[in-house]
Structure 1
Amino acid sequence: MATSKTTNTYNRQNWEDADFPILCQTCLGDNPYIRMTKEKYGKECKICLRPFTVFRWCPGARMRFKKTEVCQTCAKLKNVCQTCLLDLEYGLPIQVRDAALKMKDDLPKSDVNKEYYIQNQERELSRTDPGSMNAKLNEPNDLLMRLARTAPYYKRNRPHVCSFWVKGECRRGEECPYRHEKPTDPDDPLADQNIKDRYYGINDPVADKLLKRAAAMPALPPPEDKTITTLYIGNLGTLTEQDIRDHFYQYGEIRSVSLVPKQQCAFVQYTTRSAAEAAAEKTFNKLILGGRRLTIKWGRSQGRSGPSIVGHISDAYEPVPGLPGALPELSNNFFNLEPGHIPLPNMPPPASLMVPPLFGPPPIPSFFFNPAQIPNFVSPAASASTSTATSETVTKQTVHYPSQDPSRLGATQLHADRQE
């Protein structure tokens, strides 16, 4: 029975000829001007063993040359890059993507069945849109959104480790195109990788590492305070308030959006707690806007506000040490004083003069601008004995206000003394 290689040798109509490769942004490099070589039927695909067009290029300065490893038909079947064999949408291994989307690999493993299957799929791809065959790959998934790379990882294009430097025999120095670094530990699972395992999604050490990371990712539990309906949005970059509002309104009615440009963050407040919980669950470690992964956290409690604070001052605020306590309640006798009477020393002043109410100006007592007149000083025609006794009594009593001191209200008395 003829082998697959012999069959491909004579069945030249199935060989692949392409004008440009299918690559991810990382493998293509950060340089917009790339010189790429093209070799028609230069190599066999490592999956279907059919000859295909090989492309070779350098992704950037101090990077190693890269080339395509699989044909375009195999890359389209899995929606992967022809070089790194990572998913083009999320930049993740096939094993992680298939586990998240619960997809099964139906690609045959034997050579004859695999060649027949590839030929049939190639005809389907030529008649239909490749995206229609991978419709399930475009479905949103929370696990893939959390693990996906938001920016190209150009570190993957670095040169290989210099084997002569490891032995201590490299004499090129800085001109050596290879890395002078300690190689990976042979016992490390990441050191044992091959293309076929990555393509079929089995025994991939990189995929195992990512799945373990996903299992250990923290969650965002809602706070116990049910009054908190605000979410903190960080790492905004150049996003505007309208961009944030356009995305977060889908989870519920928004009360306000506060943007802090200096801190590159914003606060989104919902009208209901259920809407805030739904937004936190759908966006935590998953939301990517403007090419940036946003940081989602719960906002802090702003305290009680509105009319409820009037009746709960003691509950909302704790007493400050060192300040005097609250004034005792006054009796009605203070406001029923007869003219000429002075309040007792142990009687406190009215609360309206010392502690203003929370709302509006304090009420002004009737005697504030018209102090009680003392008969001893108002009527100089009174008897000398009565005046002397009254003045001694007033002097001995302790006054509470400076305005009640006879020496300060003694303008009439001083004037009378000068006349005498």
Structure 2
Amino acid sequence: MFDLSRAFAEEQDQKDTLKNYKNQFYFPQRNGKDAIYFCGNSLGLQARNVQQAVMQELEDWQQCAVEGYWGARNPWLYYQQYCSRPMMEIVGASQEELTVMNTLTVNLHLMMMSFYKPTKERFKILMEAGAFPSDQYAVETQVKLHGLDPATAIIEVAPREGEFLIREEDIFQIIDQESSSLALILLGGINYYTGQLFNMQSITKAAHRAGAVVGFDLAHVVGNVPVKLHDWEVDFAVWCSYKYLNGGPGAVGGAFIHERHARDRNRPRLGGWWGNEETIRFKMEKGFEPKDRAEGWQISTAQVFNMVALKASLELFESAGMAALRDKSIQLTNYLEFLLKHIENIKFEIITPKNCKERGAQLSLLFHDRGKEIQQKMTEAGIIVDWREPGVIRISPAPLYNSYGDVFHFYEIIANIA
């Protein structure tokens, strides 16, 4: 299927139906050339259409001032919907189940305020050991907010001794054992460190059988792996948009609330003006009446300048389609794995699942020595990858703007590192 020649990479790039999207992005420069950028799992590249999109909003602000809320080219009153509409295909949900607001951890706190309702008997939260620190901090402080002890209220599922990946059967075993005490299961859809993609559908079914609520942090999933949050009956999910979605540094986050919850105006939440029912919003009266959809969790006015880059990038996602992006992503990552297996000069192991259906656009390479030195040599050679302590280099070829040639060039460089 694959071979070690440059000609093979060139041939695949010629056949790639998504090849022209690479030209829609700016690349950092290294040694007078475009860098090979395999760091979209930390921060996506800037799409070339972003500058004009920002200029449009600046022009409308200049010419319309406050009337831009209804008279701008993209009226600001509805700006979050310009991003939630194209998100429907990406996360498998209706627009009524989606909202674009705040940032990931803020949204996680807001969702936990609504969905984590501990009782004396049912108060525990199951999460993965080694979850991204912000998730750990959010869960720890939410537990404390309810007067509970994190040591007893938080259960962590970890890889078995000597392994790097969490076994699905171990998740199910804990759910069964703690079925009477579990209030919430909160997992990253993809573990940021290993790149392991969890079976969210089966976990959701198991959680609901146990009477628990289930939510996912999709920071490394959205724009990477297509999901079907509505069909899988996930209760809620949150994500950022600065990674695979290319929304820009610190870009606006998003949230999914399943329609059975989103339509429930009585579900507790923190209220704000922008989450209030639009037909009565400008009456300026007491009494919060939330919208009967996910936007009912919005607190503040849409952050136009923090959404505009995401809006521009999502136009490319709509054009390319998630199915095609996923197909290319699998091929790129399989090709990368094939090439890495032919590296003999340096020692590492791939700790990401071998099954391409159990991972996204990332391979994590564990170096037991010289890892930081090797990452620095990659940087000097014009390849931007991500380093995570204690010894992992994360390589993430994003299908929108990476090519087979990029992957092959990476192989050539790493194969010649002394």
Q: When the two structures are superposed, what TM-score results if normalisation uses the length of structure 2?
A: 0.22
Radius of gyration: which is bigger? Answer: 1
Higher RCO, 1 or 2 (CA under 8 Å, sep at least 6)? 2
Q: When the two structures are superposed, what TM-score results if normalisation uses the length of structure 1?
A: 0.22
Q: Which has the higher helix share?
A: 2
